[in-house]
């Protein structure tokens, strides 16, 4: 992957704003499941670079696996990669045009990961309603949300104090 050496002020501001979006979720993830050491992010990496950087910053010391998808047709290959790499959790990128919250690709990913006992987390209420086990961030009004049904399928616990959807 090439790194662009010149960044515009707008891109820098977007990364800074996105960083806060994932900090609360990163903290909630660590508190709920301290055994999580590897987190996967499935997204169009070129479109979601700021979010991927923010996720990396919100999860210091954790290994981040980025699975690049350019369209829904890439989801099968992404699942193969996730199956081989076996992350401890998958984090959704809310605004990703391919696998972001609310997309059919995200629903496919969430279902397959839960069946493989790998929980998915999100920064939006829509992501939790769609099947992410935990959600926290600007899209949840700052509340920790949980999907108990999917948590049971994925075999993980719901943290105390989480509002269940």
Confidence of residue 18 (pLDDT cuts 50, 70, 90): low
CA dist list (Å): 104 to 31, 74, 137: 29, 13, 22
pLDDT tops 50 at residue 16 = no
pLDDT number for residue 11: 37
CA pair distance 135, 146, nearest whole angstrom: 6
pLDDT tops 50 at residue 115 = yes
CA pair distance 83, 100, nearest whole angstrom: 20
pLDDT digits (tens, 9 = 90+) for 89-108: 999 998 999 999 889 999 99
pLDDT number for residue 7: 33
The residue assigned the tokens 């919100």 is 58
pLDDT number for residue 29: 94
pTM of the model: 0.86
- Residue 10 or residue 134, greater confidence: 134
pLDDT number for residue 80: 96
pLDDT tops 90 at residue 3 = no
Burial class (CB in 10 A: 0-12, 13-18, 19+), 162: buried
Domains in the chain, start-ordered, CATH in brackets? 13-118 (3.40.50)
Burial class (CB in 10 A: 0-12, 13-18, 19+), 8: exposed
């Amino acid at each position: 992957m090439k790194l662009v050496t010149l960044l515009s002020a707008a891109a820098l501001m977007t990364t800074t704003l996105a960083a806060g979006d994932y900090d609360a979720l990163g903290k909630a993830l660590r508190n709920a499941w301290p055994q999580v050491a590897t987190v996967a992010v499935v997204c169009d990496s070129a479109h979601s670079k700021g979010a991927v950087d923010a996720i990396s910053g919100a999860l210091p010391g954790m290994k981040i696996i980025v699975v690049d998808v350019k369209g829904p047709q890439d989801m099968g290959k992404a699942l193969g990669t996730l199956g081989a790499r076996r992350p401890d959790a998958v984090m959704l990128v809310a605004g990703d045009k391919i696998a972001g919250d609310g997309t059919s690709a995200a629903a496919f990913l969430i279902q397959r990961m839960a069946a493989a006992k790998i929980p998915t987390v999100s920064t939006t209420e829509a992501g939790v309603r769609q099947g992410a086990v935990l959600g926290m961030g600007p899209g949840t009004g700052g509340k920790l949300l949980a999907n108990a049904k999917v948590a049971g399928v994925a075999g993980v616990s719901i943290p105390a104090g989480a509002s269940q959807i």
